[in-house]
Amino acid sequence: MIKPVSFTNHGQQLVGILHVPDNLFPDQKAPAIAMFHGFTGHKSEAHRFFVQIARALCKAGFVVLRFDFRGSGDSDGDFEDMTVPGEVSDAEQALTFLSSLPEVDDKLIGVIGLSMGGRVASILASKDNRVKYVVLYSAALAPLKQMFEGMVRSEKLELLKRGESVSLNNGWYLKKPFFDTLDETVPYDVMDKIKAPVLIVHGDSDQTVPLKVALRGYEIIKGLNDKNKLHIVKGGDHVFTLKEHTAEVIKETVDWLKSLDLKAIKQKEEEFTPSIDYSRPWFHGSPLRLGLLKKGSTITQDEELARVFSHAPTIVSVSDEGTIKHDGKRSGFLYRIAEDVFPEDVQLHPHSSLAHGKEWITTRDLRVAQIGVTFIHPKEILTSEEISRLKKGRSTTKS
């Protein structure tokens, strides 16, 4: 079964197609995959490559989401406002959307990315612990800023500086933020943080992203997981145009996914998920006045931590003794969740660097009641030296 779906990010609608296995029993949950298309691509991709992949994965028992990033395909926004960090943000929302579906096992969600979508997938997988398996097709893993800037004639650089868009080719326009943030995170620099198994598929005749990019990416990850694999499609181009190449990619992907022990992955995730009493009070801190907490907000059962969050910090440090320090600068408000919270209403924060189980993300809107006004205590402010040290270590930087 396929059906059109949509979800939102930053107030804009993203449009997609959901593939659901026909043989799912009522209340049965299936593993799921979000697919990320390439630069100037869309949810079907060239020669309907993504449609063919999605159909095969659905037949193999996966729920599959194909969708258009903002500014692409049928989604809201303009392509000229596209940035890689923006697409990573869209990808995060795609995982949140998938995890909210009743037919999806939210402990078994993976991603597939093609070309620039592979760049997005690898960055996301390096920091989002919801990603349990990764497939990268012709992925753009290397630095790209210099190459893209070389595509813009020197006389157009002034247009970028003035905030205007410039054309690359075939009617596609981009603005300065795209170039400024393109190498903000280079996959080569973060792939060693990917804990999930990774399959890299690349054609040796790819003229857009050379095979050497995949070879270097595989060198980074090959020792991280015994399921990590590189598959080279002999004669394959960037989007595996030939029918036999598409068939080879599909078979390799399905076989590799079947080789994963999904039950073990799920069991490990369940063991990793902390056992908590959901009936205990939940708190939220914010510098804003609120009556309703929107889906995707951070909540915690640690009241003191919520108070710290009310100061809008970017870095939070918790010592072994439990002392909390931060770099927040605003007074704020402390809230208590004013309705019952059930297990399906929250999920572990995907990027938390605090103690496991401290931060959670809401999966629906929740009513809140203000229980206090908060002020910053001078002793809890991080010094510039502490901030510098934490940024180098990154282990306690709040995402």
- pLDDT, one tens digit per residue, over 162-219 is 889 998 877 899 999 999 999 999 999 999 999 999 999 999 999 999 999 999 999 9
Q: Looking at 220, 250, 271, which one is the last position of a domain? A: 271
Q: Looking at 271, 291, 317, which one is the last position of a domain? A: 271
Q: Is 60 exceeded by the pLDDT of residue 156?
A: yes
Q: Which amino acid is at 264?
A: A
State whether 106 and 236 are in the same domain.
yes
pLDDT of residue 296: 87
State whether 22 and 62 are in the same domain.
yes
State whether 59 and 87 are in the same domain.
yes
* Overall average pLDDT of the 133-155 stretch: 91
pLDDT confidence bin for 399, thresholds 50/70/90 = very low
pLDDT of residue 397: 39
pLDDT of residue 395: 39
Does residue 352 lie within any of the structural domains? yes
pLDDT confidence bin for 155, thresholds 50/70/90 = low
Global confidence as pTM: 0.77
104 vs 143: CA distance, rounded Å: 35
Whole-number mean pLDDT of the chain?
A: 91
* Overall average pLDDT of the 2-26 stretch: 94
pLDDT of residue 272: 66
pLDDT confidence bin for 238, thresholds 50/70/90 = very high
State whether 126 and 230 are in the same domain.
yes
Which residues constitute the domain of residue 372?
Answer: 283-393
Which tokens hold the place of 398? 């709040």
SS3 of 91, please? helix
State whether 290 and 266 are in the same domain.
no
State whether 228 and 113 are in the same domain.
yes
Contacts of 76 (CB under 8 A, 6+ apart): 12, 13, 14, 70
23 vs 370: CA distance, rounded Å: 47
- pLDDT, one tens digit per residue, over 307-360 is 999 998 888 887 777 788 888 889 999 999 999 999 888 888 877 767 778 889
pLDDT confidence bin for 398, thresholds 50/70/90 = very low
Give the CATH number of the domain where residue 78 resides. Answer: 3.40.50.1820
342 vs 345: CA distance, rounded Å: 5
* Overall average pLDDT of the 148-154 stretch: 82
State whether 258 and 211 are in the same domain.
yes
- pLDDT, one tens digit per residue, over 294-304 is 988 999 999 98
* Overall average pLDDT of the 152-168 stretch: 82
pLDDT of residue 280: 92
Q: Is 80 exceeded by the pLDDT of residue 392?
A: no
Please check whether residue 57 is in contact with residue 2, taking contact to mean a CB–CB distance below 8 angstroms. no
Neighbours of 169 (CB within 10 A): 7
Please check whether residue 350 is in contact with residue 363, taking contact to mean a CB–CB distance below 8 angstroms. no
Q: Is 50 exceeded by the pLDDT of residue 138?
A: yes
pLDDT of residue 351: 72
The dihedral built from the CA positions of residue 43, 44, 45 and 51, taken in this order, carries a sign that is: positive
pLDDT of residue 273: 66
* Overall average pLDDT of the 11-29 stretch: 93
State whether 267 and 287 are in the same domain.
no
Q: Is 90 exceeded by the pLDDT of residue 394?
A: no
Does residue 163 lie within any of the structural domains? no
Which tokens hold the place of 335? 């809230």
Give the CATH number of the domain where residue 339 resides. Answer: 3.20.170
Does residue 178 lie within any of the structural domains? no
Please check whether residue 349 is in contact with residue 361, taking contact to mean a CB–CB distance below 8 angstroms. yes
Q: What percent of the chain has pLDDT over 70?
A: 96
- Which of 36 and 100 is assigned the larger pLDDT? 36
State whether 237 and 136 are in the same domain.
yes
State whether 193 and 263 are in the same domain.
yes
pLDDT confidence bin for 393, thresholds 50/70/90 = low
State whether 337 and 233 are in the same domain.
no
Across the beta sheet with 332-337, the strand order is: 283-286, 332-337, 366-374, 292-293
State whether 213 and 313 are in the same domain.
no
